[in-house]
Structure 1
Amino acid sequence: MSAKQNILAKLRKSLVGTTPLADNFDEALVTEPWSYPPEQRIAQLRKQMEAVHTEIHLSTGDAWPALLARLLHERQLPSLLVSPATPHGKQLAAHWDANAGLPTLKAYDRPVEEWKAELFNDTPASLTGTLGAIASTGSLIVWPTPQEPRLMSLVPPVHFALLKASEVHNNFYEVQQKFAWAAGMPTNALLISGPSKTADIEQVLAYGAHGPKDLVLLILEDQ
């Protein structure tokens, strides 16, 4: 018997003859104080995220590519990393094809080992989608996929993110219930509330130390 099996066997044996305690979990404790009327969720999310230096813009499902192009131009960013396999990647590519003179679109379509140096040293910005957001904490829910890997939101200095207004949830508990995380947690769910920051060095707050120094959120209002 391995050490692990031995420990588990002792734990199971210690429970013999005992009576399980009733589950007295009160859901209201983690939901009621952190729930908002639907019309206030975006305002609450914006308040929380702007407090930690997130830049937020309101747009629509049709207009956001033009807005993104303008933001790239204003920041003088020469290229943008996108996933061509995603719906928003395809929509962005169509807008780029119809308009000349826009920054270069870089496709994340190959293993990172083939272009690691370029990704880390010559990729100034990226665009990813989100699974939703949490109003109470001001957090984006980013669930990486093979088409849109985790590195897209962690490596480039500027991270642009898309969020549907209808997918702003009240609190973390609500998100766990909706996506049934108790039945199987995703391996790489990320909760992002703002640009990367640290105060480890001399207790001075610095942005961009361990990831993007700028987070730009485009909220797409329902049409």
Structure 2
Amino acid sequence: MSAKQNILAKLRNSLSGTTPLADDFDETLVTQPWSYPPEQRLARLRELMEAVHTEIHLTRSDAWPALLQRLLVERDLPSLLIAPNTEHGQQLQTHWRTSACTIPLKAYDRPIEEWKAELFNDTPASLTGTLGAIAATGSLIVWPSREEPRLMSLVPPVHFALLKASEVYDNLYEAQRKQQWAAGMPTNALLISGPSKTADIEQVLAYGAHGPKDLVVLILEDA
């Protein structure tokens, strides 16, 4: 028996003859103070995120690629990192072809070991989807995946994120329940409330110290 198996066996045996405690968890403790009328969720999310320097744009499912293109041009960003096999990645590539946009789209389609230096030193912006948002804390929910690894939202200086307005939840507990997180958790679940910031050095607030210095959220009002 391996050391791991030995430890697990001891843990199981320690429960022998014991009686489980009744589950008396009261979900109102984590929901009632942080519940909002549906028409107020988006406004609260915007208020909290914009308070920490997040840039938010309201758009539609058929209009966000053109908006993103305009924002890239206005910021003079030379390229954009995307996940080409996602639905939004394919939609963006189609728009790029029809609009004859000349800003290069970089595909995250290979192991990080093959292009680590390029990602960290020559990738100015990225686009990712989200799993929703939390009105109570003003946070985006991002689940890294095989198509959109965690580094996409953490490394490039500018992070563009797509959010469906219908997926703004009151609180984290509601999001977990409605999306059935218990059925399968990701390796990482990220809650992003704004650009990276720190005040470690002389308590002077600085943005971009440990991640993106700019967070731009495109909210799809019709989705």
Deviation at 1:122, TM superposition (A): 0.7
Whether the 8 Å CA contact 2:144–2:186 is kept in 1: the answer is no
Deviation at 1:16, TM superposition (A): 5.1
Deviation at 1:9, TM superposition (A): 6.0
2:115 counterpart of 1:115: yes
Q: Secondary structure at the match of 2:218?
A: strand
Q: Which residue matches 2:178?
A: 178
Higher deviation after alignment, 202-211 or 151-160: 202-211
2:37 counterpart of 1:37: yes
Q: Which residue matches 2:149?
A: 149
Report the TM-score when normalising by structure 2. 0.92
Aligned-partner Cα distance in 1 for 2:12–2:108: 48
Paired residue total: 223
Whether the 8 Å CA contact 1:69–1:102 is kept in 2: the answer is no
| Ranges in structure 2 where 5+ consecutive residues have no aligned partner | none
| Ranges in structure 1 where 5+ consecutive residues have no aligned partner | none
Q: Secondary structure at the match of 1:222?
A: coil
Deviation at 1:41, TM superposition (A): 0.9
Aligned-partner Cα distance in 2 for 1:173–1:24: 16
Whether the 8 Å CA contact 1:108–1:148 is kept in 2: the answer is yes
2:83 counterpart of 1:106: no
1:8-23 equivalences under 5 Å are 15=15, 17-23=17-23
Aligned-partner Cα distance in 2 for 1:82–1:213: 18
1:1-223 equivalences under 5 Å are 15=15, 17-222=17-222
Once superposed, what is the RMSD of the aligned Cα atoms?
A: 1.9
- Distance verdict in 2 for CA 1:92–1:101, change over 3 Å: closer
Percentage identity across paired residues of the two chains? 81
Q: Deviations over 1:166-219 (max 9, x none)?
A: 111111011111233234321111111111111222222211111100000000
Q: Secondary structure at the match of 1:211?
A: coil
User: Residue 164 of structure 2 aligns to which amino acid in structure 1?
Assistant: K
Report the TM-score when normalising by structure 1. 0.92
Whether the 8 Å CA contact 1:84–1:90 is kept in 2: the answer is yes
Aligned-partner Cα distance in 1 for 2:30–2:178: 15
